[in-house]
Amino acid sequence: MSVTTNVRLMSSVPSAGGTPSEASVGADSEPVTSASPDWDRAMSDAEKIVGYSTSYFSLRCLLSDEISNVALHLRKLVGTNHPLLETAKRLTYTGHSNMQTRGLIVLLMSKAAGHPTTSIDFIDAQQSAGISQRQRSLAEMTEMIYSAHLIHRGILNLQPSLLLQSKKAMDLHFGNKMSVLSGDFLLASVWKGLGELRDTKVVELMATAIGDFMEGQFIIETESTFPTTNAGKDFWEERNFLRVGSLQANSCQSALQLSGHDDRLQVNAYDFGRNIALGWQAFTELQPFIDSYMHPLNTAPTFDLRSAPVVLHIENNGQSLDEIVLSGGEGEGEAGVADNSPQYDFNKLHSLVRNGPAIDKTRQLIREYTDKALQALEGFPKSDATNALSNIVFAIREQ
């Protein structure tokens, strides 16, 4: 996997993983949150409703003996700036930038739908805040899939000829091996857990989510150019459904499949997961252009060149990014990290997008997805869980 765009394209915004505040990196940005009282209150209330703190999902899965042994070797990477160190910190930090929202939404969806009295999980759910143990396991597996993706995404594209030429290069190569091992272990644990759920449709749905994740990452790694004048909303939606929408949509549907609900309600759950994930991603990508607290104007702008505001700016103005290319060509980064990406004038692009109509268009896009998410919720009975899901939606759209 290439890490060529990791440093320059980093974006810190409210995070699709925890609070709408975790750093988005390059062409594969992840949602992050500013310290919004509405968001914090919505997440705190939601955890009380499900009777289960999701803040330690990733920590629990990382505290197995196998991953603990991996952690002992991470100290070798101190000082190398290998992405695995940053990923490990983000997976275990439980403050405002925790990334456990995906699992929390699965738990809320499970409780919002309830359990038919004929369901095999009915008694179990009645004894545990209306959520069965199988649904809790599914929520943890959802977080494990995302954690494995983050770890794998941090593998550096190193120049083979330089791997043995310095201790730092050898340490970075070691970090890559640890990233592969750790990510694969989490995915293996997911497959084992899915088998224990004993539901072939759930296995199929979650396999689709994992496959979409991998396809989305492959597209990112193999894209040779940045958005052109042909890029637009459809371009953005397609690639972000693979990256963030499919996992949330299929995990929400799987939660209802486990409790024995009919196809109609499962479709509503799928639609909710899909649209809240896309709305959240658009919200995250908007922050570098409007949040002067997290992204001060007097600092170098950091954002994704395929983010919604940039794509919508190109679509609206018919202006290719090639018009603001400063230089291009292949090169080598620190310690033999390959870098063959074009160099863009980020300050100029940031100013063009910020002062153009793309900001309002991105807000309209967020409203479109959140409206659809709220419409999907109308198919569920009114309850504390549906209110909590609605509050999360409004926390995204009203910031």
Most confident stretch, 62-71, 84-93, 181-190, 317-326? 181-190
Helices (H), 74-199: 83-92, 101-113, 122-126, 133-153, 167-197
Average pLDDT over residues 295-323: 77
pLDDT in tens, 243-266: 899 999 999 999 999 998 999 999
- Please report which confidence band the pLDDT of residue 199 belongs to, taking 50, 70 and 90 as the band edges: very high
Q: At what angle are helices 101-113 and 246-258 packed, to 10 degrees?
A: 30
Q: Write down the mean pLDDT value for the chain.
A: 75
- Whether residue 123 is predicted with pLDDT greater than 90 in this model: the reply is no
Could you tell me if 304 and 244 are in contact, meaning their C-beta atoms sit under 8 angstroms apart? no
- Residue 110 burial (CB count, 10 A): 30
pLDDT in tens, 134-150: 999 999 899 889 888 88
Q: Which tops the pLDDT comparison, 12 or 60?
A: 60
- Please report which confidence band the pLDDT of residue 112 belongs to, taking 50, 70 and 90 as the band edges: very high
**Domains of the chain listed by start with CATH number:** 11-397 (1.10.600.10)
- Please report which confidence band the pLDDT of residue 24 belongs to, taking 50, 70 and 90 as the band edges: very low
Could you give the CA distance from residue 33 to residue 287 in angstroms, rounded to a whole number? 9
pLDDT in tens, 162-171: 655 667 777 7
The two three-digit tokens of residue 22, written as one number: 């975790």
Estimate to the nearest angstrom the gap between the alpha carbon of 56 and the chain centroid.
Answer: 17
Provide long-range contacts, Cβ within 8 A and 24+ apart, for 194-198.
194/141, 196/137, 197/134, 197/137, 197/138, 197/258
- Whether residue 5 is predicted with pLDDT greater than 50 in this model: the reply is no
Could you tell me if 260 and 234 are in contact, meaning their C-beta atoms sit under 8 angstroms apart? no
Could you tell me if 123 and 172 are in contact, meaning their C-beta atoms sit under 8 angstroms apart? no
For residue 210, the surrounding DSSP H or E stretch is helix 200-222
pLDDT in tens, 93-106: 444 444 478 999 99
- Please report which confidence band the pLDDT of residue 34 belongs to, taking 50, 70 and 90 as the band edges: very low
Q: Which tops the pLDDT comparison, 321 or 236?
A: 236
pLDDT in tens, 316-342: 877 666 665 554 444 444 444 455 556
Q: DSSP 3-state assignment of 333? A: coil
